[in-house]
Amino acid sequence: MTTEILQQRAEIGQEIDGDTVCDRLRRTAEDSADAPALSDQVTGAAAADGDGWRTLTWAQARQQVLELAAGLAALGLGKGERVALMLPNRGEHVLADLAALHAGGLGVTFYATLAPDQLAYVAADCDARIAVLDGAGELARWEPVLDGLPGLKKIIVRDAAACPAGDQYLTWDDFAALGKERFAADPGVISARIAEITPDDPVTLLYTSGTTGNPKGVLLTHRNILYEVAAANATGTVTAGVRWVSYLPLAHIAERMFSIYLAIHTAGHVHFCPDTSQLVQVIGKVRPTSFFGVPRVWEKVRAGIEALLAAEQDQDRKAAVEQAMAIGRRYVQSCQYGHTTPPGLAEQFQAADEQVLGPIRSLLGLGEAVTVSSAAAPLPPEVAAFFAGLGMKILDIYGMTETTGAFASNTMDAFKLGTVGRPFPGQEVRIAEDGEILTRGPLNTPGYLNRPDLTSQLIDEDGWLHSGDIGSLDEDGFLSVVDRKKELIITAGGENVSPAAIENLLVAHPLVGQALAFGDLRPYVVALLTLDGEVAPAWARARGIDADSLAALATNPAVLAAVEEAVSAANERLARVQQVKHWRLLPVEWTADTEELTPTLKLKRRIVHAKYS
């Protein structure tokens, strides 16, 4: 460990010394009392009377957190006990989570896609005592397993119309009224509980989405979270007073960092988008000053833009866009670490940005975004290059739940396309002999709940956390991620092949929604492909192809020919051992609602392997 790393740790440690998330929320509520904090969309008469949003200020949000904490205490929540949360992205979700924390307990957000048996496993593993559910859909998942969860004493339901009768159930409104009454009668109960919370107490318990086996509960402390916030702030990628759209599951560490902890730190304004099919419209309304998307989100935005450009009939206008994007791409690439912008290119870019690129970004709702970022999986180089053509530096960042989210990041001042940036201040990173990425420092989890055996496999005796990813560090300290260690294909010839490297090239074509490369113990690689559910129908209509479903399109000769071209184009950029020899276009789409993808849109490879063996 270098002196510089020790000094960085000491400086950040001094900055957050003694603090908890509860302390940070109190200060933000005091210093930015009237600043907007949490906004939910409203419909009907309520929307007609305002801007379409119901908004809490930071002072109002903290007051509700304290009252709801008193409600949880009144319902019997004890110190360290867990509250299960299954709600979409909305204000009540964040308020309930923070209320559990202020009551001395712990919120545990459940992925909405969990099957009842998985749900029962997680609820039993964390010994949930109270559950907060959104409505009928969530109740339908819980009711079959409630008999096996004797420790679950109370279920709070946000949608009063869906709340069953019986002593075990309570509507959100009644819960809020109980909390308001109890807090007004004796605020000292919650004040005393907050005073007992220490920086090394857990602030959240997140269960990995479980691409294989049962989910694992990752504990993160106040110290972990506040170090992450301070380290991110030190990199210059944190936007003060951020205007944010929250749409990824709050069980995902990245969304949780952005929508809760960084929002508290910056006194930001979070707008909730509970229905991801409405994301484009919400972004257009909110015009966020910072935006985060997993690679699949960026791929779909890119596919949509390319479909519009392909349909453009005015050839002069089309040529102007292509020329401007070429300038944008060259300019952003010239801004990379170690590069120099050629004379005159900055001026060319400024003109292209004012006339063409800026208006396109504004149409996307990202015209005011100071920083845009990507994580959860490596961003395909073609996607990064495409958005560079729009003048956007998508900052690829890297981390995992077990490292409190990002521990390496590109920044506006130091980035390299195709890498995930440099380690955060005070966090060590090295590459093991077998190529695995290891990291050590204040961001590492204390461990998995109830699984010391798995914790010892994750973090070795010297404190190095084993990421499970294969990567490399260049001479400037920038980290690149190749693939998951366990997902590398070993061909019949003994060659190690990265499936992600193949898949990224296959999905570069707008028609291809998802791709899975397979080649274990085979002499060559094969691939399963799906069509993009939004782009493919538009592509077909533009060519006069009449098809009423993806299944029909998947058998259309013109579509198959286009996909064949996509596979050939990918193969031209792959080594012989990586090339796809056979492929199949499936008649279905893989989405977060199907069993082939995790809630964060990553492939569940073992599920796909078994289902399509």
How far apart (Å, rounded) are the C-alpha atoms in residues 377 and 481? 9
Q: What is the pTM of this model?
A: 0.85
- Quote the tokens at residue 599: 């809630």
Average pLDDT over residues 74-95: 97
Average pLDDT over residues 341-360: 95
Q: What is the pLDDT of residue 47?
A: 55
Q: What is the pLDDT of residue 211?
A: 47
Residue 48 has pLDDT above 80, yes or no: no
Residue 415 has pLDDT above 70, yes or no: yes
Q: What is the pLDDT of residue 376?
A: 75
Task: Go through the chain and tell me how many residues it has.
Answer: 613
How far apart (Å, rounded) are the C-alpha atoms in residues 493 and 407? 36
Residue type, 36: P
| pLDDT band per the 50, 70, 90 thresholds, residue 45 | low
Residue 85 has pLDDT above 80, yes or no: yes
Lowest mean pLDDT among 42-56, 76-90, 298-312, 528-542: 42-56
Report helix angle 3-16 to 222-234, nearest 10. 120
Reduced 3-state DSSP string for 197-244: CCCCCEEEEEECCCCCCCCCEEEEEHHHHHHHHHHHHHCCCCCCCCEE
With contact defined as beta carbons under 8 Å apart, do 85 and 108 qualify?
A: yes
CA-based Rg of the chain, rounded to a whole angstrom?
25
Residue 377 has pLDDT above 70, yes or no: yes
Q: What is the pLDDT of residue 547?
A: 80
- Residue 23 burial (C-beta neighbours within 10 Å; 0-12, 13-18, 19+): middle
CA atoms within 13 A on the CB side of 71: 30
Residue 118: its H or E element: helix 116-125
User: Strand (E) positions, 362-413?
Assistant: 371-374, 394-400, 405-409
Query: CB count, 10 Å around CB of 514?
Result: 24
Average pLDDT over residues 286-298: 92
With contact defined as beta carbons under 8 Å apart, do 412 and 371 qualify?
A: yes
Q: What is the pLDDT of residue 46?
A: 57
**Greatest CA separation found in the chain?**
74
Q: What is the pLDDT of residue 13?
A: 95
Residue 49 has pLDDT above 60, yes or no: no
Q: What is the pLDDT of residue 604?
A: 85
- Residue 572 burial (C-beta neighbours within 10 Å; 0-12, 13-18, 19+): exposed
How far apart (Å, rounded) are the C-alpha atoms in residues 542 and 311? 7
Average pLDDT over residues 418-445: 96
With contact defined as beta carbons under 8 Å apart, do 229 and 256 qualify?
A: no
Give percent of the chain above pLDDT 70: 97
Q: Can you tell me whether residue 369 is helix, strand or coil? A: coil
Task: Put the strands of the sheet holding 479-484 in their side by side order.
Answer: 428-431, 436-440, 465-473, 479-484
Residue 50 has pLDDT above 80, yes or no: no
Q: Express each pLDDT in 460-512 by its tens digit.
A: 999 999 998 999 999 999 999 987 777 778 776 667 788 888 998 899 888 99
| pLDDT band per the 50, 70, 90 thresholds, residue 452 | very high
Q: What is the pLDDT of residue 422?
A: 96
Top-confidence residue, 341 or 595: 341
Residue 593 has pLDDT above 80, yes or no: no
Q: Can you tell me whether residue 158 is helix, strand or coil? A: coil
Q: Express each pLDDT in 51-84 by its tens digit.
A: 899 999 999 999 999 999 999 999 999 999 999 9
What's the mean per-residue pLDDT of the chain? 92
Average pLDDT over residues 277-305: 90
| pLDDT band per the 50, 70, 90 thresholds, residue 610 | confident
Top-confidence residue, 418 or 101: 101
The residue written with tokens 């000769």 in the block is: 557
Task: Put the strands of the sheet holding 36-41 in their side by side order.
Answer: 53-57, 36-41, 269-272, 243-246
Average pLDDT over residues 252-274: 96
Average pLDDT over residues 23-30: 98
How far apart (Å, rounded) are the C-alpha atoms in residues 158 and 571? 51
Give percent of the chain above pLDDT 90: 74
Q: What is the pLDDT of residue 44?
A: 67
Residue 576 has pLDDT above 90, yes or no: no
With contact defined as beta carbons under 8 Å apart, do 295 and 376 qualify?
A: yes
Q: Express each pLDDT in 105-126 by its tens digit.
A: 999 999 888 888 889 999 999 9
How far apart (Å, rounded) are the C-alpha atoms in residues 368 and 505? 30
Pairing between strand 371-374 and 394-400? parallel
Residue 350 has pLDDT above 90, yes or no: yes
How far apart (Å, rounded) are the C-alpha atoms in residues 418 and 382? 9
| pLDDT band per the 50, 70, 90 thresholds, residue 562 | very high
